[in-house]
Structure 1
Amino acid sequence: MTRKDPVKLIWLFLGSLIVNTGISFIWPLTTIYMHEYLHEPLTVAAMVLLVNSGFTVLGNFLGGFLFDKWHPYQTMILGISISGISAGLLIFFHGWPTYAILLITIGLGNGMVNTGVNSTATLIKSKQTSYIFNVLYFTSNLGLVFGSLIVGLILPLGITYIFLLAFILFAGFSVVIVLEFKGLNDAKEAVKSGRETELTGAGTTFDRTGIILVLVCLFVSWIAYEQWQSNISTYMISLGMSVRSYSLLWTLNGILIVFFQPLLTHFDDFLTQHLRGRLYTGFILFAVAFLFLITATHYAAFMIAMAVLTIGEILAFPAVSTFVNDRASLLEKGKYQGFVMATASAGRAFGPLIGALVIEAISYQSLFIVAAGLVLLSVLIFDVVSKRKTTAITKQN
């Protein structure tokens, strides 16, 4: 008999929304808060963000490992407890260097939680995993949009209220986990015991090479994506455009995600059947967006590039989780979802630095060419190696 889902989908999606809203209350303020309020140099703020990203990657790996090898339920509780306690301490202790230390521990906890959410998706049986990853990507982005909007309203009242609100959200999600995620351990044990092999991907072929290559595509794409959140803003200002014009690009990004992501979810069956095509199309659109920027001098060109980038993003990023899940070994799906989250976190961490080095050494236009070229090269390698492997398997059979 088919077992029930270990977690109701509504609680999984709501949890993703809550935790990503809480995250967006804290990390976007780091540079401004450390420089303007704590009077630390921008280089120090950049180093704190880099270490925070490093601990987020560590949390991704640790969360995936503990989800598979220990207890999923306790892993989720541990991760959200680290985040919640850190946010709670920030309410009272947000001077230097306490702020930096607690920001780093929040990164560790959030890394564990986000990997736990994605790993939980692999145990859901009432919907296709691809559908769940699509919705999770939507809720995570919606949380970032909500968080950014709320921060703008609350920050004038004082930074303490931002930390208080983040703590309330993390505490709220911890209650959800305690009450609604109890079935995780039993579901994982059922998979380990082999009692539900037929329900959890029997016939799935473990494909380490495919996983590594698609993660390389993801890493390169996130490095490129981060240019929009860092170096492209200064490039637009150098062309005489305003900060408000730049921020409106992210409004366009949010609108397109909110509109198109549910539409893609509606066609989930078709997209799952053509998963490689979805990945190729998404990553290629990423590259095309940067090709638009090479000669961009007017605001309209930046809007078109952002629109193309966003469509590529919603096609490729959720599909990576599905691709990896389909090819991960049955008992290590949590670990490999941790790899997905860690790869994205690493791309976010190194993207601004790599972009700045290219700009200083050559030019902005060279950065756009390099970004497009690396994404296209990674996709080409992924495609060629995958086809060779498929041909080799066919000949053996």
Structure 2
Amino acid sequence: MLSRRFTQFLPKETYAFLVARLFNAMGSAFIWPLTTIYVHNVLHGNYAAAGWVLFGQSLAGALGQFAGGAMYHRLGPMRLIVGSLLLTALAQWSLMLARSLPPYAVAIAANSFLISATQPALNAFVGNRWKPFSARLFNTMYVMTNIGIAVGTALAGVIASVSFTLTFFLNGLLTMSFAAFMWRFLQRLGPETEDAPIDAMPQIDRSTWQLFRNYRVYALLGAGMLALSLALAAWNSGVAPYLNQTGHRPDAYSVLWTVNGMLILVGQPVIGWIKRRVAQSTAQLILSSALYAAAFAGMAMAHRAYPALVAGMVVATFGEMLNAPTVPELVTRMTGPHAAFYLGLVGAIGNVGSLLGPVLFGHLFDLAGISPILWVATGASILATAAFAGYARVVRRLGDTPGAPNDMRTPSADEGTQFTG
């Protein structure tokens, strides 16, 4: 499925994990594209009600990221990853019984909370288990996830046209299968000699409050991710209604995301070339937000021409490809055994932008159309660039620059404590 060059130097034991991750992403994509349609067409709620359901879903996801990171060292990877996946499958199956809006809103929020709680644990496990390969592995996970999402969203409409109940059932089945795979995978993988057993409860001598107080590790990085997630809301809450308002065909918006998905696959050689020349992880984050700013600024000046929106998506996608795999790699490399906590915290802070963006841009669009939305998104991307630049200075002061090509070592547990309190 992936070329030999793309997966070179990855441990063979990771291949099964990557394929399982693809199927899990495919299953997750069965639900989220259809939430608004299901609320409106099946539960007979209005679009405002669907908006509040999505708001609750995003809020639950933010809380889940933080909770998952905070519970990682109390439960351990085995219990947290497998347990949350099992509960997620049950939450997804409960959607089959949700015949009115309130139960559906609760079930979809529970699903979002539980699956989000899994993410920092998975990323921390991957980053700490395969330390020398973490940068390549996170990038490969990112690509495999996008393949799964592309396939899942394509199948979601087809399956839903047969039965929404079947959609929920298959979603839960794939999640349950991923839980069974991870349980067996973690058991067979076994602990490395220098690591604590992967199913044990690690002994941590730092409280959650002590970790939280070490704001240098997460504050500027989280602020940058918040600004970017706010900017990205311009696609759904600005570009989509603009295309509808100006009489474009319904598929004009989906074409933009088709471009996004295809570019993530075919653009990997270009991203590899960029990363070889911009080697430091913090520099890649700065470049990613600068590309987002350029994309939104270009669209703000030329949005009346549809090709300008396509060009904006192309530039923004390169920003995404530099950002998405770099953040977990950077955090796990800096914080070592405390990575899950900080991954959850950064993810939760970043999700605040996803909560605020649709509300802000919805009002802006009603008042003045798409132009101010794109300029606000540009400004937010510039603020993200400044936050990432400040974070790069913090990293240099802490004495480590993750991602440098000649510095592939990972801090030991003792070294890692300098970043965690």
Q: Shorter-normalised TM-score: what interval?
A: 0.7 to 0.9
Q: 1:236 to 1:376 in 2, by over 3 A?
A: same
Detail structure 1 runs of 4+ shifted over 4 Å in the superposition.
183-188, 190-194, 265-268, 388-394
1:249 is paired with a residue of what secondary structure? Answer: helix
Q: 1:151 to 1:193 in 2, by over 3 A?
A: closer
For residue 189 of structure 1, report the CA deviation from its aligned partner: 2.2
Point out where structure 2 has 5 or more consecutive residues left out of the alignment. 1-9, 205-212, 401-421
In structure 2, the partner of 1:76 is 81
Deviation track 1:160-193 (CA, whole Å, cap 9, x = no partner) reads 1111110111111011012112268846626957
In structure 1, the partner of 2:239 is 232
Deviation track 1:279-299 (CA, whole Å, cap 9, x = no partner) reads 111110101111111132111
In structure 1, the partner of 2:250 is 243
Alignment of 1:361-380 (within 5 A): 361-380=367-386
Distance 1:143 1:185 in 2: 27
Alignment of 1:341-380 (within 5 A): 341-380=347-386
2:29 is paired with a residue of what secondary structure? Answer: helix
In structure 1, the partner of 2:143 is 138
Distance 1:64 1:271 in 2: 33
Deviation track 1:84-111 (CA, whole Å, cap 9, x = no partner) reads 0112222344433322221111111111
In structure 2, the partner of 1:9 is 14
1:236 is paired with a residue of what secondary structure? Answer: helix
Distance 2:107 2:288 in 1: 36
Deviation track 1:242-290 (CA, whole Å, cap 9, x = no partner) reads 211111111111000111246535876x368322221111110101111
In structure 1, the partner of 2:339 is 333
Deviation track 1:292-313 (CA, whole Å, cap 9, x = no partner) reads 1113211111110110111111
Of the structure 1 ranges 232-241 and 254-263, higher mean CA displacement relative to structure 2 is found in 254-263
Number of matched pairs: 377
After TM superposition, the score normalised by the length of structure 1 is 0.86
CA RMSD after TM alignment: 2.9
Q: 1:216 to 1:157 in 2, by over 3 A?
A: same
Distance 2:96 2:325 in 1: 34
Q: 1:92 to 1:207 in 2, by over 3 A?
A: closer
1:189 is paired with a residue of what secondary structure? Answer: coil
In structure 2, the partner of 1:199 is none
For residue 220 of structure 1, report the CA deviation from its aligned partner: 1.0
Distance 2:114 2:184 in 1: 19
Quick check: 1:161 aligned with 2:166? yes
Quick check: 1:252 aligned with 2:259? yes
In structure 1, the partner of 2:65 is 60
Distance 1:392 1:26 in 2: 42
CA contact (8 A) 1:84 1:170 kept: yes
Q: % of aligned pairs identical?
A: 24
Quick check: 1:216 aligned with 2:223? yes
Quick check: 1:101 aligned with 2:106? yes
One-letter code of the match for 1:106? Answer: N
Deviation track 1:363-388 (CA, whole Å, cap 9, x = no partner) reads 42111111111211231244256448
CA contact (8 A) 2:62 2:348 kept: yes
For residue 207 of structure 1, report the CA deviation from its aligned partner: 7.9
CA contact (8 A) 1:6 1:182 kept: no
Q: 1:105 to 1:385 in 2, by over 3 A?
A: closer
One-letter code of the match for 1:99? Answer: Y
Which residue among 261, 278, 301 is the counterpart of 2:284? Answer: 278
Which residue among 156, 175, 183 is the counterpart of 1:178? Answer: 183
CA contact (8 A) 2:35 2:50 kept: yes
In structure 1, the partner of 2:405 is none
1:371 is paired with a residue of what secondary structure? Answer: helix
Distance 2:12 2:359 in 1: 39
Which residue among 17, 20, 23 is the counterpart of 2:25? Answer: 20
For residue 335 of structure 1, report the CA deviation from its aligned partner: 0.8
In structure 2, the partner of 1:307 is 314
One-letter code of the match for 2:34? Answer: L
For residue 350 of structure 1, report the CA deviation from its aligned partner: 2.7
Q: 1:386 to 1:189 in 2, by over 3 A?
A: same
Which residue among 282, 305, 308 is the counterpart of 1:298? Answer: 305
Distance 1:174 1:180 in 2: 10
Distance 1:167 1:389 in 2: 41
Deviation track 1:344-368 (CA, whole Å, cap 9, x = no partner) reads 4333333212221333454421111
2:31 is paired with a residue of what secondary structure? Answer: helix
Q: 1:298 to 1:207 in 2, by over 3 A?
A: same
1:230 is paired with a residue of what secondary structure? Answer: helix
CA contact (8 A) 1:82 1:105 kept: no
For residue 331 of structure 1, report the CA deviation from its aligned partner: 2.6
One-letter code of the match for 2:363? Answer: L
Q: 1:161 to 1:393 in 2, by over 3 A?
A: closer
